[in-house]
Amino acid sequence: MDTKTENRINEWLSGDYDEATKKEIKQLQQNDPAQLEDAFYQDLEFGTGGLRGIMGVGTNRMNKYTVGKATQGYANYLNQSFPEVKVAIAHDVRNNSRQFAEIAADIFAANGIKVFLFESIRPTPELSFAIRTLQCQGGLVITASHNPKEYNGYKAYWKDGGQLVPPHDKNVIAEVEKIKSIDDVKWKGNPENITLIGKDIDEAYLKMVKGLSVNTEACIKEHDLKIVYTPIHGTGIMLVPKALAEYGFDNVHIVKEQANPDGNFPTVIYPNPEEKETMSIGLEKAKELDADILLGTDPDADRVGAGVKDNHGEWVLLNGNQTALIVFNYIIEARKNSGKAKPNDMVVKTIVTTDMIDKIAESNGINCYNVLTGFKWIAELIREKEGKENYVVGGEESFGLMIGDNIRDKDAVSAVTMICEIAAVEKQKGRTLFEKLMELYVKYGFYYEKLISLTKKGMNGSKEIAEMMQGYRDNPPKEIAGSKVKELLDYQLQTKKNLLNGETEKITLPKSNVLQFITEDGSKISARPSGTEPKIKFYFSVHTSLDTVSEFDKTQKKLEDKIESIISSMNLK
């Protein structure tokens, strides 16, 4: 154990920390020194999105002290930036989330900041909505989104309801880093500065969600659309059933095994609707009821997973790209057909989300912008284009959608209602969502994507990931799966290089540690270290034409094989 780690441990044992914390440290010293070292070898980084980590004692863990120091730094920056400050605070179902939210509320209050604290669990998107509705200067939500139960997190927001972007993200980080001791934190303040909120914001939020509907008639006519919904033990149970009722859907079946909010997530390992295992109970329920659609939301209800019957009548989960392109296409088409479309409508996606959306937008004469991964960049683009272009929908492949600009973060509540509206519209036509998907592939080309994540845990994990990325930068592959690599896009260096003739051009997006390889046959491979987990993610996108729906299976197999060939040639198995 190095000296810095030992010093951190000794500081906690001798400092003004509670006895339960000191006792736990001593137990780890005796029983698990390796875990103790991991808990103290570094400070849990307050990154551009806030904090996220395993809960427990230590500088590298989520606990009341790391939350306290982060909140003091954030409070200092808010007070420097505005003459009067109001913040909103929400939290999810995770263990300790309420405690962390109340600690943060007390610290803000002690710093003279007016706090609106949700009375109980709420979806993350409602926090974004509350910031805008209550005209706050900032806010935070205590959540670790879809991470395993051992994790918790702290996401900080700015006055527009979006997560922190430059320069505020770096400025807040600098203020947090100035808090060297827990003695610098104002732990207890004026309780009169804290106001509990709940029902009124819920009602305003649900009214907003209802207003996003483009075809209310279809929802009313297909009110008995058979919907299976699982909140996966999370906050979605608070608002999703109510939102579906607002749309007129009255045949909603909630997966009872996963209905109760529970931070231990007893029926799943990863409370992530991207995972088939996580959605397996819902899939069985949908099959048993012969449902029209299955929807699932993650613990803080900002991500949505959708299950449908495929072209063979088997229940399958749509991937995030498929869900996004169905929603993007529907909103663009429905706005046009209903006369709601505006000449300056725009849509936004991230650089690792299917390029099929670009084609759909281009075909409809709508601007489609590509931003870095994360909805904070979509929110920033909306700000930039405000008054010039009309934002209608944004999304990314990681099961996130943001419909309309009343909030500035991904929202699974409105996504669930919109997907059900689309299913109702298609049912009126005698079709399923999967049949609509295949129709889009025939019209625009069959784009097929896959994501793999390599986990690199512990002290050496981040080093391994950094070395992998540097290796790709220094020695980019000349060929992938038999096709020459023609372009390397390096978002960290902000350069796009033609590897065939050596020409380079500047990328205008902010710096980000992302690499993309474009091959001569049109394949796109993206490499990106995760900002919230010890993982490096690889995104693969291939495409070809689909002449008829009857060719779907054969064409999909061909694209699947192509991606497997790419993975093999890059030694990522």
Q: Give the torsion sign (CA, 75, 80, 83, 88).
A: negative
Render 318-369 in DSSP notation, one character per residue. PPHHHHHHHHHHHHHHHHHHTT---TTEEEEEETTS-THHHHHHHHTT-EEE
Q: Is 559 helix (H, G, I), strand (E, B) or coil?
A: helix
Q: Say which residue the tokens 């931070």 belong to.
A: 263
Residues 523, 509 contacting (CB under 8 angstroms): no
Helix (H) or strand (E) holding 227: strand 227-230
How far does the chain reach from its first CA to its final CA, in angstroms? 34
Nearest to 354 by CA among 567, 564, 568, 559: 559
Q: Is 119 exposed, middle or buried (0-12, 13-18, 19+ CB in 10 A)?
A: exposed
Q: Say which residue the tokens 């930039």 belong to.
A: 384
Does the active-site annotation cover 97? no
Q: Which amino acid is at 20?
A: A
Render 239-261 in DSSP notation, one character per residue. THHHHHHHTT---EEE-GGGTS-
Which of 97, 128, 145, 398 is catalytic? The answer is: 145
Q: Which residues of 450-488 are buried (b: 16+ CB within 10 A; e: fewer)?
A: bbeebebeeeebbeebeebbeebeeebbeebbebebbbb
Three-class HEC string of 134-155 = CCCCEEEEECCCCCCCCEEEEE
**Cα separation of 514 and 43, whole Å?**
25
Residues 538, 452 contacting (CB under 8 angstroms): yes
What tokens appear for 261 in the block? Answer: 């909010």
**Cα separation of 543 and 121, whole Å?**
42
**Cα separation of 184 and 542, whole Å?**
53
Residues 85, 113 contacting (CB under 8 angstroms): yes
What are the counts of helices (DSSP H) followed by strands (DSSP E) for the chain?
18, 23
What residues are annotated to the active site?
145
